[in-house]
Amino acid sequence: MEQQMSPHKRRVRYKGTHPRNYYEKYKELQPEKYADTVEKVKRKGGTPAGMHISICVNEILEFLQIRPGQVGMDATLGYGGHTLEMLKCLEHQGHIYATDVDPIESEKTRQRLEKLGYGEEILTIKQMNYAQIDELAAQYGPFDFVLADLGVSSMQIDNPQRGFSYKAEGPLDLRMNPTQGISAAERLKRISEEEFAGMLVENSDEPYAEEIARAVVQEIRRGRAVDTTGRLHEVIGQALSFLPAAEQKEAVKKSSARTFQALRIDVNNEFEALHRFLEKLPDALAPGGRAAILTFHSGEDKLVKKSFKQFFKENVYSDIARDVIRPSARECAQNPRAKSTKMRWAIRS
């Protein structure tokens, strides 16, 4: 009997000089093989597909003052860019414990850092929420330094299968851990106009919250699914069709970005997790221990500022940042995703 051979499939290659499809950017997705391509994308102010460019690295290292032999925590591992720079400061003496709820990206990062010479002897990665910092500190702490970068990693935003952005068609998921909780699409099926509008205001200061909430909920009640990134973007466009034509395109883009942010915060319980993390942070720090937090929107920054001020008044922290630290103009030009970043810090008494 003649054996059936499956047809050979060629890898999807670049179409033209500016590929738009995530999976066509195979060179950017293999930085170790195509370093020149990756550097070219960075020089143009872009973030290569599947990669994340760390923000405020110099400012973070200058504040944390990491020394060989110390024990620290990276509360939000992500691509591991900050982790790598902190590991270098330890000079293979000491340890970093890193947490991340994303099982997909954290495993990629573990392998990447291991290849660079940072294995289990100096780096321990736990798939857990940073709100569980007390559990980690009880076992491995107290920590000399803690970093929390609250931004969504570019790898998540750029991958259409994760549903974090309206710019690429994909399932409306938005979960950091796709195996837990419900997707944004499922969340929308159960939500009322009033609750959705409140979420949009609370999580992203959306000026057209009522109009968007009404349009989305009514579409779903009519039996028209809103379960992909493109579909939600389309309905937002319909909701804002009353705006003058000259303003409409830009307004829809900004409202879509804010709507996706609001849904992401909601399905991942981000504000609740941040609140728990901030409450537990002082007890996880050693005397004189330093904590730095990067935030990316006003809701996060308000929570951090309030917590740091309160603990400073109670003499739990000996010092805190009086003003936010922002990335330099040069960094923002090289990495547009840095523009909304704010850094605050605190030192344990």
Bond preceding residue 142 cis, omega within 30 of 0 = yes
CATH code: domain 177-267 is: 1.10.150
Q: Say what the pLDDT of residue 2 is.
A: 47
The side-by-side arrangement of strands in the sheet containing 143-149 is 123-126, 95-99, 71-74, 143-149, 285-295, 342-348, 317-320
Q: Say what the pLDDT of residue 4 is.
A: 52
Instruction: Provide the residue type at 256 as one letter.
Output: S
* DSSP three-state, residue 253: helix
Closest CA relative to residue 76, chosen from 47, 45, 55: 55
Number of neighbours of residue 320 by Cβ within 10 angstroms: 18
For 171, residues 6+ apart whose C-beta sits below 8 A from its C-beta are: 161, 163, 183, 185, 227, 228, 229
CATH code: domain 57-154+271-348 is: 3.40.50.150
Q: Say what the pLDDT of residue 267 is.
A: 93
Q: Say what the pLDDT of residue 16 is.
A: 54
Mean per-residue pLDDT pooled into runs of 10, the chain (349 residues): 53 58 54 59 53 82 96 92 95 96 87 94 95 97 95 72 84 89 94 96 95 97 94 96 94 95 93 96 98 91 96 97 90 81 95
Residues 264, 216: Cα–Cα separation, whole Å? 16
b/e per residue 307-318 (b: at least 16 CB within 10 A)? bbeebbeeebbe
Structural domain boundaries in the chain: 57-154+271-348, 177-267
Closest CA relative to residue 101, chosen from 185, 203, 183, 175: 175
Q: Are 81 and 53 in contact (CB under 8 A)?
A: yes
Number of neighbours of residue 185 by Cβ within 10 angstroms: 22
